[in-house]
């Protein structure tokens, strides 16, 4: 998968909004902490903030905590994440005079963890389907509507009403076989696919989530993983801009994936194609 910036492992099943906990800090002071999925913003390339999905909360970390992250992680700069969707972890002391909280913003928090969630998109015309220019699925996933340990059920959703980015909860079997050299998750638009054309005639953008594991054909279902990944429909690099290829405003999106809860073999009799509607975050929170 893409490179991760390791600071702390975040509880991914809690990242759809802002989830808070409280504890005593190292100095005995009472601290609160939270995790969130958010988009990175910057003013004048200097002052960084994060906005959460839906009814956005703006989270503004201290400059010192950002500098600390950059100094602890080689080749990492916050500026490289501007405009991208990430998961973050942060903490604060309510008695700190620099901490200010309103219904729509939180300022003066200490950022202690950040992890990019962006994964690649691809546009594949008919002549490239199934070739090296395609990202062909090699293994099924488990589901795109998993339930976390707290009983919260998820499904793919738009980050905001612009419908430019999609957050996808992917439950899959991670390979433990040492022969597995790499894994990837790609959201692919096949404009010439018959089902895609039929959906487009109904105003629906049909996309395929392809899960690839290189090095092994199938492997044991010993370790399942649940991660949120983000896809931009407006990537500007060649052959990745789905929105441009679609050619109009995007309203309804479907994601298709090969799924199997019991096997990692694409040819297993239990492997089937599942279709997931992408919902707004308001629709997701209302379920």
| Residue 50's CATH number | 2.40.50.500
Residue 39 neighbours by CB under 8 Å, 6+ apart: 50, 51, 83, 84, 85, 86, 159, 165
- Quick one: 202 and 269 in the same domain? yes
- The closest of 120, 123, 38 to 84, measured between CA atoms, is 38
Q: pLDDT band for position 75 (50/70/90)?
A: confident
- Quick one: 196 and 279 in the same domain? yes
**Looking at 20-24, 111-115, 274-278, 283-287, which range is the least confident one?**
20-24
Host domain of residue 106: 12-116
Higher pLDDT, 155 or 20: 155
Flag whether pLDDT at 148 surpasses 90.
Answer: no
**Assigned domain for 7 exists:** no
Flag whether pLDDT at 29 surpasses 70.
Answer: no
- Quick one: 276 and 137 in the same domain? yes
Find the CATH number of the domain harbouring 254: 2.60.40.3220
Q: How confident is the model at residue 14, as a pLDDT? A: 40
CA neighbours within 13 Å on the CB side: how many for 93?
11
195-241 pLDDT tens trace: 999 999 999 999 999 999 998 888 888 889 999 999 999 998 889 99
- Quick one: 170 and 128 in the same domain? yes
**Assigned domain for 58 exists:** yes
What's the mean per-residue pLDDT of the chain? 88
Tokens of 22: 């409280």
- Quick one: 269 and 162 in the same domain? yes
**Assigned domain for 6 exists:** no
Flag whether pLDDT at 7 surpasses 70.
Answer: no
Residue matched to tokens 């009983």: 151
Q: Are 55 and 102 in contact (CB under 8 A)?
A: no
d(CA 215, CA 182): 7
Q: How confident is the model at residue 2, as a pLDDT? A: 37
Residue 193 neighbours by CB under 8 Å, 6+ apart: 129, 206
- Domain end, chosen from 116, 138, 162, is at 116
**Assigned domain for 88 exists:** yes
**Assigned domain for 1 exists:** no
Q: How confident is the model at residue 3, as a pLDDT? A: 36
Residue 152 CA, distance from chain mean position: 17
**Assigned domain for 158 exists:** yes
Give this prediction's pTM. 0.88
Percentage of the chain exceeding pLDDT 70: 89
Q: How confident is the model at residue 153, as a pLDDT? A: 85
Q: How confident is the model at residue 21, as a pLDDT? A: 53
Flag whether pLDDT at 52 surpasses 90.
Answer: yes
- Quick one: 127 and 112 in the same domain? no
- Quick one: 64 and 152 in the same domain? no
**Assigned domain for 18 exists:** yes
Cβ atoms < 10 Å from Cβ of 173: 24
Flag whether pLDDT at 22 surpasses 70.
Answer: no
């Amino acid at each position: 998968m893409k490179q991760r910036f390791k600071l702390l492992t975040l509880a991914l099943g809690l990242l759809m909004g802002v989830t808070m906990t409280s504890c005593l800090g190292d100095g005995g002071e009472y601290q609160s902490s939270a995790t969130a999925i958010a988009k990175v913003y910057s003013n004048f390339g200097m002052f960084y903030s994060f906005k959460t999905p839906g009814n956005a909360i703006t989270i503004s970390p201290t400059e010192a905590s950002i500098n600390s992250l950059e100094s602890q992680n080689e080749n990492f700069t916050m500026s490289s994440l501007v405009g991208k969707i990430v998961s973050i972890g942060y903490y604060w002391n309510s008695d700190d005079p620099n901490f200010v909280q309103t219904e729509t913003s939180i300022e003066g928090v200490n950022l202690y963890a950040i992890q990019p969630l962006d994964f690649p998109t691809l546009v594949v015309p008919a002549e490239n389907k199934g070739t090296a220019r395609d990202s062909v699925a090699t293994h099924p996933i488990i589901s795109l509507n998993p339930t976390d340990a707290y009983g919260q059920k998820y499904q793919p959703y738009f980050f905001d009403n612009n419908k430019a980015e999609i957050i996808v909860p992917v439950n899959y079997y991670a390979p433990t076989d040492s022969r597995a050299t790499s894994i990837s998750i790609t959201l692919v638009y096949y404009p010439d696919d018959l089902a895609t054309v039929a959906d487009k005639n109904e105003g629906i953008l049909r996309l395929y989530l392809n899960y690839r594991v290189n090095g092994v054909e199938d492997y044991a279902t010993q370790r399942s993983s649940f991660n949120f990944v983000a896809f931009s429909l407006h990537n500007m690099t060649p052959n990745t801009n789905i929105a441009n290829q679609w050619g109009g405003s995007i309203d309804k999106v479907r994601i298709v994936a090969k799924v199997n809860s019991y096997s990692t073999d694409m040819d297993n009799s239990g492997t089937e194609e599942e279709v997931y509607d992408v919902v707004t975050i308001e629709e997701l929170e209302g379920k």
